Amino acid sequence: MPTLVTEESQITNIFGTSGFKCKKLVTTLSSEATIFDIIQSIIKTKQPEIDSPFSVLDLRVVINQMKKWTTNLPTVKPFYAVKCNPNISLLGALALLGANFDCASPVEIESVLSLGVSPERIIYANPCKSESHIKYAASVGVNVTTFDTVGEVEKIKMWHPNCELVLRIKPEEDNRAQFGLGLKFGALLNEVPELLKAADEAGLKVTGVSFHIGSAGASTQAYRGAILLAKTVFETASHLGMPKMKILNIGGGFTPGSKFDEASLNINEAIKSYFENEEDLVVIGEPGTYFAETAFTLATKVIGKRVRGELREYWIDDGIHGSLGNVVYDYFIITCSTFRFGSKLENVTCKDTKTYPSTVFGPTLDSTDTVLKEYELPELEMNDWLVFSNMGAYTSSLGTNFNGFSSYAKNVYIAYSSDQVLSQENNS
């Protein structure tokens, strides 16, 4: 069974740096301890004064995901997309594992730099930036950014003339992606020559090409077409007599599980086919969900109950305006477990007790703040717990203070197994 460790010094020793704003650290006696073992331990140890909601960041998952990345995509440097989940402890762990960072704002850049990460490990991957934000990037030494318009070239020339540029292009749309980014970002192929010439005439160096195939359901075959399109841009720059490009940014869209294996196969084969003769090519990717989604588990407490015939209605202390905003999307599949707190804590499953169609509401006065509808749950009482798995991607980062509720899980516990190695050689 896991043992709680609360001393800040032990947190500092494990991470190798200070400043991680985590609630507590949980070390496990064995890597076999489940996340539910850890949550039970937290509730048992800290009940009834425990703050809720809370989440657990399982660093064992992050470490394993990094190992799989380096195995499947050994030539692709990961630049974690901070927007997916900016939890400072997650960022710190990824930094120690050798990840680099994709930032879209000064706030994200500042968070990464606060960990002692070199600005050379950051790409400012926002194609449209405020002038003040460009000036900030220049002041802290973040010297690589994306662009896709002539107007952006003009701003960068004025405020950060030493910045290297990566041209964001628009790949062919994949209608299977729940979130296609081509509507907002990416130059069309016929716009590329004008953009390259504008940058060259401004005295700015275009060092590479980036794209994003879309998130949540995009076909992994889309990487092939996008990489071929990027190769075309490399050739266009060469024909224009511009300095040789060196960066191929294949963007994000990566998810945990078997689709990552499929994506890796397509990416590796496409790079080999289209860029085999490109010496000194640097390939980077921008995974977000891949690292964050399965690493976080959310625990919420039942704070209210109503019975209407067979229907059970419950209120919990987190909701769609907090950590559970992702449940409003059709692609997200809820994985929910229940814990009953009484004379002893037990995991109550639908297999071992009668269940009822249940509706679960968040804490706000918004009637759309509904987490579950007609969901089969066992009978729950006040102060029982609902635990949601896979709650790391676009959860806390989208949380609000609507109705005055700071409802997203600010209290983050960290699970870490002492038989795993957190620090690896920096691959920046």
Residues annotated as part of the active site: 83, 212, 286
Please give the angle made by the CA atoms of 256, 318 and 103, to the nearest 5 degrees: 45
- Which of 329, 427, 409, 375 has the alpha carbon at shortest distance from 42? 409
Torsion-angle region of 38 (φ positive above 0: left; ψ -120 to 50: alpha; else: beta): alpha
Query: Is 310:349 a contact under the CB 8 Å cutoff?
Result: no
The H-or-E segment that residue 377 falls in is strand 370-378
Q: For 220-289, what is the HEC assignment?
A: CCHHHHHHHHHHHHHHHHHHCCCCCCCEEECCCCCCCCHHHHHHHHHHHHHHHHHHCCCCCCEEEECCCH
Please give the angle made by the CA atoms of 226, 171 and 328, to the nearest 5 degrees: 110
The structure tokens 């974690």 sit at: 80
Query: Is 22:414 a contact under the CB 8 Å cutoff?
Result: yes
Pairing of strands 385-388, 336-341: antiparallel
Residue type, 380: L
DSSP state string for 155-203: HHHHH-TT-EEEEEB-PPP-TT-SB--TTTS-B-GGGHHHHHHHHHHTT
Ramachandran angles phi, psi of 64, nearest 5°: -65, -35
Query: Is 255:331 a contact under the CB 8 Å cutoff?
Result: no
The alpha carbons of the chain give a radius of gyration, in whole angstroms, of 23
Residue type, 285: G
Spacing of C-alpha 214 from chain mean position: 14
Alpha-carbon dihedral angle through residues 141, 143, 146, 148, given to the nearest 10 degrees: 110
Interatomic CA distance for residues 399 and 396, integer angstroms: 5
